[in-house]
Amino acid sequence: MTDRLTRTTPKPKAGIVHLGPGAFFRAFNAVYTDEAMAKAGGDWGILAVSLRSPDARDQLAPQDGAYTAVTLGPEGREAQVVGSITGCLVAPEDPGAVLEAMADPAIRIVSLTITEKGYCHNPATGKLMRDHPDIVHDLEHPEAPRSAPGFLTAALARRRAAGHPPFTVLSCDNLPSNGALAKQVVLDFARARDEDLAEWIANEVRFPATMVDRITPATTEADIAALEKAAGYSDPAMVAAEPFRQWVIEDSFAQGRPAWDEVGVQMVADVEAHELMKLRCLNGTHSTLAYLGYLAGYETIAETVADPDFAALCRKMWDEEIIPTLPRPEGEDLARYTAALLERYRNPGIRHRTWQIAMDGSQKLPQRMLGTVADCLDRGTVPEGLCLAVAGWIRYVSGTDEAGTPIDVRDPMADRLRVAATSADPVDAVLALDAVFPVKLARDARFRDAVASAHDRLMRDGAARTVQAYVR
Ligand code: CS2
C-alpha cells in the first residue's frame, strides 16, 4: 500500500472560514495563507466549508487537512505541502455546525470561492435572485441555509445577537467589484428577513474587493499518479497549478488579516483597474478560446493557442478591442501583461480543458465580454472578435458540435439556452435573455448584426476557418 501524506507543520488555530474548498482555493488562498503564517505567524488557519459535495472533506480529512500544491512550470514541477487548512465541514450534512463555526468570534474573515453562480444574483443586474430555489429555501429556513448569502446572513445575525463584532467577507471570485456584489446579495437577503439586521450589516461589515489570478485546472487522476511516482505518496487532495499567481486585495479588514503582503499579495486602496484588466484580458480571451477552441476540436487551451490563428485571435482582440477600454492599473503594462498571458496559455504543463472553462457561460459572459463590447460600442467601434466569441458561445450552447456529436453543456441556464440557440432565429432568441444581455446592448443593431453574421459564418464554415478569416 502506498503511504499517505501527513502534516509537516503543527495545525494552526482557525481565524478564517472559507466557503468553496475547490482546486482554486487550495492552489491560491490556502497557499498564500500558509506562507503568510510561516513568515509572520498569526492564528489564521482556515476551516474549509463545502456548500455541496463531500469530496473535499473526504480527501482532506484522512490527511488531517494537509495536501500537496504542485506548480507546473514549462520546465518541470515543484511540490509544497500546505498546512493552513484546519478542517473541512460539509454544509448539507450539518448546516448548524457551519453557522456555529462562522459565529465563533475567533473567526475574523469569511472568504469565498463559490464561483459566479454561488452569489445567486442576476448576472445582468447584480441583484439577488429572489426566486432562486436556494434563496426561496433559505428565506423559509434561515437557520438551515443552503446558499452563501443565506449562510453569511444567518451567521452575521448570530454574531450581532451575541454582541460579537462581525467577520470581514472576502469574495475571491472572478466577478467585477466582487466585494460590492457580495454585499449587495447579503443585504438583499437580510432585508427580506429583518431591516435592522440589514442596516447593521450595511454599517458594520466590510466587504473588500479582490482580484485573483492563478490558472488551476481540475485535478486529474494523471496528476495524482504523477505526484505519487515522484513523491512516493498518494494525495487525492492535491492540486496542480501554473507558476504565475497574482492577488490584489482592497485593504479593508475590520479585525486584521494574515500578513499576505509579506508573501507577494498586493494590498491596495482600489482594486477596480486590476480587476478589469484581469477579467477582460484573461477571462475574456479564456472564454473565447474555450468556445471557439472546443468547436474547432481542441481539448485544451495550450492546444488551442498552439494553432497560430487562435494565438493571433487573442493578440488582435487584446490590441484592437480590449486594451483600448481599460484604465492602466498602477504598476502594470498592458502590452507586457497580455504578452505574458499568451505564454501562460502556452504552458504545456497545464492541461486546462476548453470544456471546463466553457461551463457557466451565462454567468461569465457579462463581465468577461459584454462590458468590453458595450464600451467599444460607446466609443463608436464594433468589436468583431468579441462578437465572434459571443456567436461561438451561442453555437456551443446549442448542444451539438460541428461533427454532430452532443456537447455536455453545463450551465444553470442550459435548458433555456439550448431552446433559444436551436430555434429558427438563434441569435435574436439568445440575445433576448435579459439575465445575460442588458437590454440596451441586445437592442444595439451593430452588436446584433455582428453576432448574427459571425454565427452564420460559424454554421457555414466552422470555427477554425471563421477564426482564420478574422485574423488574416
Ligand atoms: C477560467 C478561470 O474556468 C474559467 O472560467 O477562465 O478559472 C481562470 O483560469 C482563472 O480565472 C485564472 O485566474
Report pLDDT digits (tens) over 420-458: 999 999 999 999 999 999 999 999 999 999 999 999 999
Closest ligand 1 atom to residue 174 Cα is 11
Closest ligand 1 atom to residue 356 Cα is 3
pLDDT of residue 1: 52
Distance 5 CA to ligand 1 centre (A): 28
Report the amino acid identity of residue 433.
Answer: L
Mean pLDDT calculated for residue range 359-375: 97
Cα–Cα distance for residue pair 277/272, rounded to 1 Å: 9
Banded pLDDT at 125 (limits 50, 70, 90): confident
Distance 357 CA to ligand 1 centre (A): 7
Banded pLDDT at 124 (limits 50, 70, 90): confident
Express each pLDDT in 225-269 by its tens digit. 999 999 999 999 999 999 999 999 999 999 999 999 999 999 999
Q: What is the dihedral of CA 309, 310, 311, 316, to 10 degrees?
A: 80
Distance 212 CA to ligand 1 centre (A): 9
For a substitution probing ligand 1, which of 212, 286, 304, 352 has the most ligand atoms within 8 Å of its CB?
Answer: 286
Query: Does ligand 1 come within 6 angstroms of the Cβ of 286?
Result: yes
Mean pLDDT calculated for residue range 282-309: 98
Of 2-16, 109-123, 415-429, give the lowest mean pLDDT range.
2-16
Query: Does ligand 1 come within 6 angstroms of the Cβ of 211?
Result: no
Closest CA to 60 of 97, 15, 104, 30: 30
Query: Does ligand 1 come within 6 angstroms of the Cβ of 111?
Result: no
The pTM of the full predicted model, rounded to 2 decimals, is 0.97
Q: Closest Cα to atom 11, ligand 1: which residue?
A: 213
Query: Does ligand 1 come within 6 angstroms of the Cβ of 213?
Result: yes
Query: Does ligand 1 come within 6 angstroms of the Cβ of 283?
Result: yes
Residue 286's H or E segment, with its range, is helix 284-295
Residue ranges of domains in the chain, CATH in brackets: 14-268 (3.40.50.720), 272-471 (1.10.1040.10)
For a substitution probing ligand 1, which of 173, 242, 248, 283 has the most ligand atoms within 8 Å of its CB?
Answer: 283
Q: Closest Cα to atom 6, ligand 1: which residue?
A: 283
Main-chain phi, psi angles of 247, to 5 degrees:
-135, 120
Q: For 83, which DSSP code?
A: -
Q: Closest Cα to atom 5, ligand 1: which residue?
A: 357
Query: Does ligand 1 come within 6 angstroms of the Cβ of 186?
Result: no
Question: In this prediction, what percent of the chain has a pLDDT beyond 90?
Answer: 96
Q: What is the dihedral of CA 48, 50, 56, 61, to 10 degrees?
A: 50
Mean pLDDT calculated for residue range 329-352: 96
Q: Which residues of 343-381 are buried (b: 16+ CB within 10 A; e: fewer)?
A: ebbebebbbbbbbebbbbbbbbbbbbbbbbbbbbbeeee
Banded pLDDT at 2 (limits 50, 70, 90): low
Query: Does ligand 1 come within 6 angstroms of the Cβ of 215?
Result: yes
Banded pLDDT at 4 (limits 50, 70, 90): confident
Distance 59 CA to ligand 1 centre (A): 23
Query: Does ligand 1 come within 6 angstroms of the Cβ of 214?
Result: yes
Q: What is the average pLDDT value for the chain, to the nearest integer? A: 97
Cα–Cα distance for residue pair 292/286, rounded to 1 Å: 10
